Chain A
């Protein structure tokens, strides 16, 4: 006997990534936010975010990820948590941990915060602070302990790249010490600022080969206590990732200025006419906008996707990546071995790799 229902047809969104601000105390070189950040003056106000949350719940959103930048930089964060949880949403805080004091967390928990996702840059303070561009590591240890003390589920998110792959085992051990319920080990995906640093951040084939048994062993060993999720380095794969589980299928992102994105990286597609909650209701944008309908379903696909048996598995891969690498957002994701543009990816994988020097994310 099964325990779940299959949902058919065009679906309302399940999740919303609410990027409350682009302001952030960290300067990670792998940041996937756009190169051009939204300034504080252009951020949505409290009433506007409350309206976005109301509209999102009406539309069907159940998971709300309060993210950024650093969402704790918004003084109205407690109010937004109250609103989202009051609507019945499952509210996650996606944070660097900086600024998460006991008093602030106690208040957020009181207001219905359900889950905290904490970023970790390295296994020890020296490396982690170097990669974060800030004295952040010790704050993260404190933040993790607080989350556990308040008995909230804790997810630890690690972005993997050439400059921290060697600490993989140490970072898994750190997540265990933190008491994480879930650990995401995500190889860098190259969007926004990270794309600028691709030469320096792209892991080597040797690093990925070394990581594979370590991750496999951790998944097995920690089964039942810590869920370990590994996100592949898609450039090295044969087939693309099933990006966003399909365009406009399950998730939407609202950028700090109210721009509504079918994918967090969608501002990369400069040909896409994006819409804003300041000008149009969220439901209309989800169902009727050109941007959300552009790559929904399969009608937009060309060969080799159109007749490919994998089109229902990976949905043609990532539209943003297709645009970034080929200039055409409707092209097959060039990661795919069946893409005529696969050569664009292959050339990046060949040694010699870059110097390994990356540019930290600036303040602006």
Chain B
């Protein structure tokens, strides 16, 4: 199970608002810093443990469960799907 952005969803950095934004048909979501860090690693190749490990190299105290939690919410928002 490897998460990826759904068809038509794009993650980009908005320099006006100085934040990452998720763009999709008729919508804009502003992910918080944690969600943005996870989203950047959702390439359809990495698994949840891969993502947690990659984040662990940059931040202290990253737990796989928390990453899964964030992903579940992004799936609920229909911006991420499981490949």
On A, residues with C-beta under 8 Å from B are: 1-5, 7, 12, 14-15, 57-60, 62-63, 88, 90, 92, 114-115, 117, 151-153, 155, 181-182, 224, 227
Contacts and interface: CB of A to CB of B under 8 A. Distances in A.
A5 B19 contact: yes
Interface in B18-38: 19, 21, 23-32, 34-35
Q: Chain A's interface: helix, strand, loop or mixed, by majority? A: loop
Question: Considering the complex of A and B, which 10 residue pairs feature the smallest CB-CB distances, nearest first?
Answer: A153-B8, A90-B23, A60-B16, A3-B35, A115-B25, A3-B73, A5-B30, A153-B25, A5-B32, A14-B28
Contacts of B13: 88
B8 A5 contact: no
B77 interface: yes
B17 interface: yes
Contacts of B21: 62
A226 to B, nearest CB: 11
B70 interface: yes
Contacts of A115: 8, 24-25
Contact of A155 (B12, B25, B70, B74): B25
A8 to B, nearest CB: 12
Given A117-B25, A153-B24, 14 more contacts: A1-B70, A3-B32, A4-B31, A5-B32, A12-B17, A58-B16, A90-B23, A90-B28, A92-B25, A92-B26, A115-B24, A151-B7, A153-B8, A224-B78
A3 B74 contact: yes
5 contacts: A4-B30, A4-B31, A62-B28, A182-B25, A224-B78
Nearest to A6: B30
Interface in B60-83: 66, 69-70, 73-74, 77-78
Nearest to A89: B23
